[in-house]
């Protein structure tokens, strides 16, 4: 029992648990809409493009929330910002259950997005600053794995609640994460490196030499993979449940949830494996391996209903974990890499801006895939995302390799590559 005590008492472990659980429950709240998408479409009479626009609005708002939370966390602290963002996405998810039309649904889901972006910005920098260089990528990977856990929780809750009580009851479940703020408030400490900061830096320093080039390139990198991710995973449940005439797999809601659950088992393994690979071999090689593999498996997965016939369900089940592993595991890069690119005074703002401005630009992805799907079917439309995975494989080489960087030294060699 004494060997487990650090997992629950050491400040770095408490920071990690809080950020991971916050991200897990954040993912659950965001993804409940994904699982309820076809039911909501039917109730409000939405096209694929309009339904995708709700997700796009969530992403745009999450970008604003993430950028704002990054700036705020540099001013008031990582812990307090984390508490506020968890409260926001929890209460907004419950508010979405009251939506009487498409416009109200967009409003509430946009507020969920504000909390989504903000929670990642505050949680990722909290973990990065709490862990030493040799274990930072692994710690971030553990935190990032919360998304896979949240996806699995959303799949399980959807399978239990949606067929019996409808999508409004499903969204009410999303209020429960607000209770996590009690743990954060009592148990989590601010990182020492933030407490020891000696100055504030103007936000404009992110966009001027020597940091400006680094900010631009990191933003382009996050944009490419976020476009690919949201274009793919927003529509995967819809692809699995849509009839064959619409380019889908024709699975019922329970099987769709089961297939997505197993895909997230693969994603969980992908997140954790990335952390070990990045700490051992470097950020660049691990990232390239993941995104090139994702570019290969994505169109293959979308084409299965066209060539597998009666075996399509089994083929989708078998390949799904690989889609989850490679199509999401690379996100473990960003909490470590972005923290290692910027100095403490601007770490929250830099990390929040690069990741979340990229998310804003990627908000077009669900709409784009939905619009293409209206013409070609969902399976073919999913292949659109492969090009963005390949672009990311090239962009990572425009940034420095940051393995073993001490955060006290981060940002001092911004001109290096």
Measuring CA to CA, which residue among 319, 236, 317 is closest to residue 35?
236
| Lowest mean pLDDT across 28-42, 132-146, 244-258 | 244-258
Residues 29-83: pLDDT tens digits? 888 988 888 889 888 888 877 787 887 788 789 889 999 999 999 999 999 999 9
The answer to whether position 45 is within a domain reads yes
Q: So what's the pLDDT on residue 149?
A: 87
- Asked if 148 and 70 count as a contact pair (C-beta separation under 8 A), the reply is no
**200 class by beta-carbon count within 10 Å (0-12 exposed, 13-18 middle, 19+ buried):** exposed
User: At 333, is the pLDDT very low, low, confident or very high (cuts 50, 70, 90)?
Assistant: very high
Q: What confidence tier does 238 reach under pLDDT thresholds 50, 70, 90?
A: confident
- Among all chains, which residue has been given the structure tokens 């909290």? 126
Whole-angstrom distance, CA of residue 194 vs CA of residue 73: 10
Helix or strand or coil: residue 318? helix
Is the Cβ–Cβ distance between 97 and 144 less than 8 Å?
no
Q: What is the mean pLDDT of residues 135-139?
A: 95
Q: Read off the pLDDT of residues 3-14 as tens digits, 9 standing for 90 and up.
A: 445 555 688 999
Q: How confident is the model at residue 400 (pLDDT cuts 50, 70, 90)?
A: very high
**Is residue 16 in a domain?**
yes
In a domain, 186, yes or no: yes
- How many domains, the chain? 1
* Distances in whole angstroms, Cα of residue 11 to Cα of each of 183, 251, 370, 400: 13, 45, 44, 30
In a domain, 4, yes or no: no
pLDDT band at 253, cuts 50/70/90?
Answer: low
pLDDT confidence bin for 285, thresholds 50/70/90: very high
Taking residues 13-29, report their average pLDDT. Answer: 91
Q: Answer whether residue 315 is part of any domain.
A: yes
**What is the per-residue DSSP string for 62-92?**
HHHHHHHHHHHHHHH-HHHHHHHHHHHHHHH
- Asked whether residue 217 is domain-assigned, the answer is yes
In a domain, 339, yes or no: yes
Kindly list the distances between the CA atom of residue 338 and the CA atoms of 228, 278, 330, 407, in Å, as whole numbers in the listed order: 19, 14, 13, 11
Which CATH number do you get for residue 264? 1.20.1250.20
Neighbouring CB atoms inside 10 A of 215's CB total 23
Lookup: tokens for 330: 């690379």
Parent domain of 232: 10-191+203-409
pLDDT at 1 over 50: no
- Average pLDDT over every residue of 164-179: 91
The answer to whether position 414 is within a domain reads no
pLDDT at site 72? 95
Q: How far is CA 242 from CA 22, 41, 75, in A?
A: 31, 12, 47
């Amino acid at each position: 029992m004494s060997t487990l005590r650090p997992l629950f008492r050491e400040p770095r472990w408490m920071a990690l648990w809080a950020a991971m659980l916050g991200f897990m429950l954040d993912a659950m709240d965001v993804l409940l809409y994904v699982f309820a998408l076809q039911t909501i479409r039917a109730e409000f009479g939405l096209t694929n493009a309009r339904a995708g626009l709700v997700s796009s609005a969530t992403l745009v708002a999450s970008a604003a929330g993430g950028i704002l939370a990054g700036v705020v966390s540099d001013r008031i602290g990582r812990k307090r910002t984390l508490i506020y963002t968890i409260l926001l996405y929890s209460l907004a998810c419950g508010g979405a259950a009251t939506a009487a039309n498409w416009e109200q649904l967009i409003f509430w889901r946009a507020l969920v997005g504000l909390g989504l972006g903000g929670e990642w910005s505050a949680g990722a920098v909290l973990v990065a600053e709490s862990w030493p260089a040799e274990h930072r990528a692994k710690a971030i990977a553990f935190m990032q794995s919360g998304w896979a856990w949240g996806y699995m929780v959303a799949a399980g809750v959807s399978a239990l609640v949606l067929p019996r009580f409808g999508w409004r009851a499903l969204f009410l479940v999303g209020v429960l994460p607000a209770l996590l703020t009690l743990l954060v408030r009592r148990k989590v400490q601010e990182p020492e490196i933030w407490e020891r900061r000696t100055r504030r830096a103007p936000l404009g320093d992110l966009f001027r030499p020597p940091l400006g080039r680094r900010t631009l390139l990191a933003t382009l990198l996050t944009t490419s993979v976020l476009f690919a991710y949201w274009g793919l995973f927003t529509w995967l449940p819809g692809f699995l449940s849509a009839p064959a005439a619409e380019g889908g797999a024709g699975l019922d809601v329970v099987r769709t949830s089961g297939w997505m659950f197993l895909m997230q088992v693969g994603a969980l393994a992908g997140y954790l494996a990335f952390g070990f690979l990045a700490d051992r071999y470097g950020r660049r090689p691990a990232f390239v391996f993941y995104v090139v593999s994702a570019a290969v498996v994505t169109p293959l997965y979308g084409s299965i209903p066209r060539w597998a016939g009666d075996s399509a369900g089994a083929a989708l089940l078998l390949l799904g974990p690989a889609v989850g592993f490679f199509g999401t595991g690379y996100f473990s890069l960003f909490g470590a890499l972005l923290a290692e690119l910027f100095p403490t005074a601007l770490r929250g703002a830099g990390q929040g801006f690069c990741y979340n401005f990229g998310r804003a630009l990627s908000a077009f992805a669900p709409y784009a895939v939905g619009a293409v799907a209206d013409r070609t079917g969902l399976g073919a439309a999913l292949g659109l995302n492969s090009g963005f995975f390949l672009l990311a494989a090239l962009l990572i080489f425009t940034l420095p390799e940051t393995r073993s960087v001490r955060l006290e030294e981060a940002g001092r060699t911004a001109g290096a590559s």
